[in-house]
Amino acid sequence: MKDWLHNLLKRIESAIDHNRWTALAAVLWLVFSGILIGCNATTIGPVSGQKVSRQRFDVEVGAATSALKAEQIQLLARMDEHNEKIAALNAAVELGYEDLERQEKMRAQLVELAAGLATSAIAGQVTPGAIANAIVTAGSILGVIGVAVDNRRKDGKINALKAERIATKA
């Protein structure tokens, strides 16, 4: 039996030696086919950090993209809410400065009226007309103060309603 095997191997060796490039091409084709069939392409996954196939890589990319889009939507909603808060603050600041200026003007008018009455009284020029003028001016100033206080009350209610609306949106 040994001779039979020995003769077979000699014939194979002779055939390979006679057709060496064809034999080499056949061996390379077998190796290349094995690589193509048996080896899948892999890469490092963006989420797992491990080697993954194309299918797993696509799943990881889809999940990461979805998570980032959801986060972006939340950030945009928070940014809109923040911008509304800034707008409400700016409106309140503007109203506050307008109210302060109005109050300072009224105070200056009261001081001017009091100074005018004091000057007239010192000079002995207090007349019924000057007293009536002072009463009308003081009444006007007090009316303006009443309107300003009422406007501040209304502004407070409007701002409270706006804040309530923003809170219910969030």
Mean pLDDT by 10 residues, the chain (170 residues): 83 84 84 77 88 91 94 92 89 86 82 73 68 73 76 80 75
Residue 129, amino acid: G
State the Cα–Cα distance between residues 79 and 85, nearest whole angstrom: 10
Model confidence, pTM: 0.43
Contact of 53 with 41, CB cutoff 8 Å: yes
